[in-house]
A and B are shown apart, each in its own frame.
Chain A
Amino acid sequence: MFLELDSVGRTFVLERRKHTEELCVLEGISFGVAEGSFVAICGPSGCGKSTLLRLIHGLQQPDAGEIRVRGERVTAPSLDRGMVFQHHNLMPWRTVIRNVELGLEAQKLSKAEARSRAERWLDKVGLSDFASYYPAQLSGGMQQRVGLARALAIDPAILLMDEPFGALDAQTRVLLQEELERIWEANAKTVVFITHDIEEALFLADRVIVMSARPGRIIADIAVDAARPRREQWRAAPEFAQLKGEIWKLLRSGQQEALLEEVSP
């Protein structure tokens, strides 16, 4: 497998004034992702999706199990994996183009090369006219697109996206989803995409992994075998609605289970 998670777990220790509290966020997460496939992870808020993505990226370490990319254990961030954050996390003091260049600075590229690469990706997310703007002068959707261009510019083998379109209005979201599908088709990257929007997951992914409420566990792994390019027809297909209902039920039962466990430990 290209990307492998092997019974990954993560517990946070919270320092209170007199005692410490343990919060188990992820438990026994195992799955594999084939090269070039698009996996969406769905789960209720607070179930540890962002944490899981940070573990895959190498920003944080799991305290149980192991994560491997091409058979090699992940221990630190690498430019092999590009992250699009839940909040755009752009540097306010950098112009749009300089933000896109952030990851290119660690690569051994000449200035001109980095600039032209950043320009190319900015163009692909439709923002070449805004290269010299500061992030605060852009709309929320534009900021997210800069974040996407920044991750794509380093040309990572794996693209990790954390609810990148979560804060956007419905129309902009759909537009960006289509844009993302197009970019992904053209570049054949492996994508792990976090979302709590079932439709978004079904529209984009080859596979939808459903997680339970905290502690996050995998409760289902559903294949989405629709032909590509999908565009709008797929959203209107009966299979789409059926899968949507199935995942919706899973999410609800997962959440109820967690609630029951909390009541009677």
Chain B
Amino acid sequence: MTAVAEAASTQAKPRERWTDNKWVQRAIVWGALLALYELLAIILGDFYLASLEDIVSGFGQIVEEGRIPTVLTSLEHLLVGFALAAAVGIPIGVAMGRSFVVDQVIGMYVRGLFVTSLAALLPLLIILFGVGFRFQVAVVFLFSVFFVIVNTAAGARAVPRQLMRTAEAFCVSPTRRFTAVVLPSSLPYIVIGLRLAVANAYTGMVLAELWVGVGTGGILKNMGQNRDLPKFFAMVLLITALAAFSSYLIRVLEKRLMPWAKEVRAA
């Protein structure tokens, strides 16, 4: 590397104070929230809220009772449904964004279903798929696919015309232009779509299970009916953590797939 390149990579960073560390900041905020919650739990009593210690022991009970494999089965439905949503949603979204005809033909249905309350369709889905694996996957799929389609379409529509024209000028074939320009240009939108979709996939997963009283949702239903609050809260927290972790995984993927965005930000 030359002196110029080196100078660019070894920029002097301003000195950090310990309060600037994001983990310190998070610890302070979370600590305060937890303390507030504990206070509220003491005031309201354990009929309404479970205290923190109870939730922790509730978690232990969940593990002992062998609930974790059930959660894993639910996650399997989620994964299959979400993967299907991505596999179907991204191509449809790209087609909608790039083709006026496709947008006219299927855009209406996509936008219509996007604003429909999908929960209202659950009885129909039970008629179609029963209450087993296929039903669970279908609900997860429907809860997530529209976010993928709508965002991917927005990204494909926003591909700079200049860059398409540049690719054309350098004789990049129309099919190659898809992979060389349309996809990388839409990628930030696709990732946003996937992140919204995964959050909704969890909603769909739990909702579907609540409806037919199986899996993780079924466990939650029982715990709620039995007023088993510590276990109930522990379970809800577990699902929330899993959803947050999934979203985080997609962000990691985003950084992997879009090194140009990361390096530019860091520079």
Interface residues in chain A, defined as those with a beta carbon under 8 Å from any beta carbon in chain B: 57, 59, 77-79, 83, 85, 87, 89, 91-94, 102-103, 105-106, 129-130, 134, 136-137, 150, 154
Contacts and interface: CB of A to CB of B under 8 A. Distances in A.
B4 A129 contact: yes
B168 A79 contact: no
B258 A93 contact: yes
Give 10 nearest A-B pairs by CB, closest first. A103-B170, A93-B184, A106-B171, A89-B166, A134-B260, A136-B264, A129-B2, A102-B170, A83-B169, A93-B260
Interface residues of B, number: 28
Nearest to A130: B5
A57 B1 contact: no
A186 B127 CA distance: 76
Most buried by A among B2, B162, B260: B260
Nearest to B160: A89
A106 B173 contact: yes
A110 to B, nearest CB: 17
A69 B185 CA distance: 34
A102 B263 contact: no
Interface string B149-193: 000000000000011011111111100100011001101000000
B267 interface: yes
A91 B264 contact: no
A89 B165 CA distance: 9
A137 B263 contact: yes
A79 B267 CA distance: 35
Nearest to A59: B169
A232 to B, nearest CB: 26
A137 B172 contact: no
A83 B169 CA distance: 7
Given A89-B163, A93-B260, A134-B260, A103 B1 contact: no
Interface of B: 1-2, 4-5, 8, 162-163, 165-173, 176, 180-181, 184-185, 187, 258-260, 263-264, 267
Given A89-B163, A105-B176, A130-B5, A154 B170 contact: yes
Contacts of B8: 137
B6 to A, nearest CB: 10
A186 B170 CA distance: 23
A87 B162 contact: yes
Given A77-B169, A129-B2, A91 B162 contact: no
B162 A59 contact: no
Majority DSSP secondary structure for residues of A touching B: loop
Nearest to A136: B264
15 contacts: A79-B171, A89-B163, A91-B180, A94-B260, A102-B170, A102-B180, A103-B171, A106-B170, A129-B2, A130-B5, A134-B259, A136-B260, A137-B264, A150-B170, A154-B170
Given A77-B170, A79-B170, 11 more contacts: A78-B171, A83-B170, A89-B162, A89-B165, A93-B185, A105-B172, A105-B176, A129-B2, A134-B259, A136-B264, A136-B267
Contacts of A78: 171
A154 B176 CA distance: 18
B263 A134 contact: yes
B203 to A, nearest CB: 32
A59 B170 contact: no
Contacts of B167: 102
B172 A102 contact: yes
A83 B259 CA distance: 28
Contacts of B5: 129-130
Given A79-B170, A106-B173, A91 B165 contact: no
A77 B173 CA distance: 11
A57 B166 CA distance: 11
A254 B165 CA distance: 31
A92 B185 CA distance: 9
Nearest to B166: A89
Nearest to A78: B171
B261 to A, nearest CB: 8
Contacts of A85: 162, 166, 169
Nearest to B176: A105
B16 to A, nearest CB: 24
B260 A77 contact: no
Among B4, B170, B181, find the residue whose CB has the most chain A CB atoms closer than 10 A. Answer: B170
A59 B1 contact: no
B267 A137 contact: yes
A59 to B, nearest CB: 6
A154 B169 CA distance: 12
Nearest to A160: B169
B163 A77 contact: no
A106 B260 contact: no
B162 A57 contact: no
A129 B4 CA distance: 9
A78 B2 CA distance: 37
B219 to A, nearest CB: 44
